[in-house]
Homo-oligomer: A and B are copies of this chain.
Amino acid sequence: MTALTPVIGIVGAGQLARMTVQAAISLSVPVRVLAARPDDGAALVWPHVEIGSPDSLEALRHFAAGCDILTFDHELVDPEHLRALEGEGRCLRPSAAAQRYAQDKGYQRERFATLGLPVPQHRLVRDAADITSFAAEHGWPVVAKATRGGYDGRGVWLLDGSLAARELAERCADSGVSLLAERFLPIEMELAVLLARRPGGECAVYPVVQTVQADGICHEVIAPAPVDAEVAAEAERLALAVAEATGVTGILAVELFLAEGHLWLNEIATRPHNSGHFSIEGAATSQFQNHLRAVLDWPLGTTTLTAPAVAMANVLGNPAGTDLAATLPAALTVPGVRVHLYGKEPRPGRKIGHVTALGAEVEETRARALRAATILAGKEPA
């Protein structure tokens, strides 16, 4: 069948690619991976790897020549390169146009606002005076975001006044970073909706989840989110609107704020996403398998939960050091937890794995996932 099923090329070889190739084994889907380094997470566990920089158009071209469809582990490939590949007839799923929504926050905010989607009040700002003028209208604090390249809390700043605005604006001017100012929202809860979308527009939407963040990094995901049916339905409606607006193929993750009594669009990702890792065991079809199915334009898989409560906890490298060879067997003593390690050096604060638990009741389930993640990170004895 490898002769007939299209060859999928994944640009980037981090944990998302690693979990995607793991899913590809079950369906015997031919996958190739472009890895920047031979010790990238996916390159450690997959035989069909090409080493090359995703920043190099030549490397991308060489890789694309051996693939039928290109898909992506991250949103960091230069938009010009993406457009060049499409211009040369390569099939990108998601397309360069869809990825632009995840790559350029200024573009995304303007487009979504035009479409009437609920984005926080925002403005592209060039200097401290712009930020202060924005604050005069919307009040301090102001949220400032790099329009490109930020993730896991990097590229987002909370500015409490004009002094902080000046410091940030100067740093950004020096490093060529463009800024978006946004009104600060008193967030009651953070939610995420994951969906898979086929090229023709058919979507399979996962149940809305709650994400628990600290310092801009996702620590926990709880499925289903503890919100009422109207909020869940509205979250799903917004995710479908974003899918339609972006024309994404594959997995789309839409992060939402619940604030001031309604939902606001926060960030989006046009690829498998941390908020969907629960789906490996917690949904009938994992986001990784559904990404492959969507990208291949195959029928999408059922997205229902496999248990009344599903909890995912990220494992972050411990500042005091994490020795996974010692902590893993200890973490496996926690009943019924599913451990996923990414093959990464456990540097402090780095996402090195996650743990999923399934259960009948949310707090007990969450406690097991957190306990195993804490033991894994080396933050407490077994």
Contact = CB atoms under 8 A, between A and B. Distances in A.
* Identical subunits present: 2
A302 B336 CA distance: 5
Interface stretch (A52-60, A117-125, A338-346): A338-346
Contacts of A320: none
Given A46-B47, A307-B306, A26 B341 contact: yes
Interface string A290-318: 00010010110110101100000000000
Interface of A: 1, 3-5, 18-19, 21-22, 24-28, 43-47, 49, 281, 284-285, 293, 296, 298-299, 301-302, 304, 306-307, 323-326, 328-329, 332-333, 335-336, 338-343, 353, 358
B28 A343 contact: yes
Contacts of A307: 306
A1 B328 contact: yes
A349 to B, nearest CB: 18
B340 A26 contact: yes
Nearest to A293: B332
A184 to B, nearest CB: 39
A358 B299 contact: no
Contacts of A44: 47
Closest CB pairs A-B (n = 7): A4-B325, A28-B341, A1-B324, A1-B325, A47-B47, A302-B336, A298-B329
Q: Which residue, A27, A281, A342, A358, has most C-beta atoms of chain B within 10 A? A: A27
Contacts of A302: 335-336
Contact of A325 (B5, B21, B304): B5
A281 B301 CA distance: 15
Given A5-B325, A28-B324, A325-B1, A332 B47 contact: no
